[in-house]
């Protein structure tokens, strides 16, 4: 039951993009360099976010990534699902149908109690992540950071941020 490293990277990258002015973006290499992680692998996560409609990509010179919708509309679950997939963590293989006392398929319309319990637990997990948006994360970071650190970030952004064409 491990959440892949890519989720951590994708959330950090998305949080960074949430801090950009409207219509501006960052290229994959910049996001990777900022977080000190391999460029190509970070690019892979951004690709997944793009497929999920969380970020918009622009190719070619002065290309890059930016959020596809407001930070208030992007939850941590959205990002997690984009990277890890939407499927359940607990996969019931219906072993109650196996063996000498196996049930017939027709008697298994309802999910087994064990699968139901895990399904309920995963719902609690999802709901908790759905309640946290990139806007929340950004606000908390601003509140908890030293002013000089925020200043460092601003300066770095000014040197790396890219203007993106409006119609990708």
Partner DNA sequence: GTTATTCGGACATTTAATATCCGAATAATG
Partner DNA sequence: CATTATTCGGATATTAAATGTCCGAATAAC
Please choose which of a copy of itself, DNA, none residue 101 contacts, taking the beta carbon within 5 to 8 angstroms, the exact cut-off set by kind. Answer: a copy of itself
Would you call 75 helix, strand, or coil by DSSP? strand
CA 33 to centroid of chain Cα atoms:
19
In angstroms, what is the C-alpha Rg of the chain? 20
Write out the residues near a copy of itself by the rule CB under 8 A: 1-5, 7-9, 11-12, 15, 33-37, 76, 80, 84-85, 89-93, 95-96, 98-103, 107, 110, 113-114, 117-118, 120-122, 124-129, 132, 136-137, 140-141, 144, 146, 149, 152-153, 156
| Tokens coding 148 | 């000089």
Distance in angstroms (rounded) separating the CA atoms of residues 54 and 48: 9
Please choose which of DNA, a copy of itself, none residue 132 contacts, taking the beta carbon within 5 to 8 angstroms, the exact cut-off set by kind. Answer: a copy of itself
Distance in angstroms (rounded) separating the CA atoms of residues 12 and 134: 9
Task: By CB under 7 A, tell whether 2 contacts DNA.
Answer: yes
Please choose which of a copy of itself, DNA, none residue 64 contacts, taking the beta carbon within 5 to 8 angstroms, the exact cut-off set by kind. Answer: DNA
| Tokens coding 65 | 């990534």
User: Residues 6 or more apart from 38 whose CB is under 8 A from it?
Assistant: 32
Instruction: Pick the binder of DNA from 15, 17, 27, 80 (CB under 7 A).
Output: 27
Distance in angstroms (rounded) separating the CA atoms of residues 66 and 23: 8
Interacting residue ranges for DNA, rule: CB under 7 A: 1-2, 4-6, 27-29, 38, 40-41, 43-44, 46-47, 50-51, 57-65, 84, 165, 167-168
């Amino acid at each position: 039951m491990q959440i892949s490293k890519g989720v951590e990277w994708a959330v950090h990258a998305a949080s960074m993009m949430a801090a950009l002015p409207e219509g501006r973006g960052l290229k994959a290499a910049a996001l990777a360099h900022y977080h000190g992680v391999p460029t190509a692998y970070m690019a892979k996560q951004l690709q997944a976010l793009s497929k999920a409609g969380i970020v918009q990509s622009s190719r070619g010179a002065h290309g890059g990534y930016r959020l596809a919708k407001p930070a208030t509309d992007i939850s941590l679950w959205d990002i997690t699902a984009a990277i890890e997939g939407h499927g359940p963590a607990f996969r019931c293989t219906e072993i109650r149908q196996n063996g000498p006392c196996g049930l017939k398929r027709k008697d298994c319309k309802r999910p087994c109690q064990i699968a139901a319990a895990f399904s309920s637990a995963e719902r609690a997990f999802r709901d908790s992540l759905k309640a946290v948006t990139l806007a929340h994360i950004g606000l908390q970071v601003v509140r908890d950071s030293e002013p000089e650190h925020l200043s460092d970030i601003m300066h770095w952004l000014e040197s790396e941020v890219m203007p993106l064409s409006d119609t990708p």
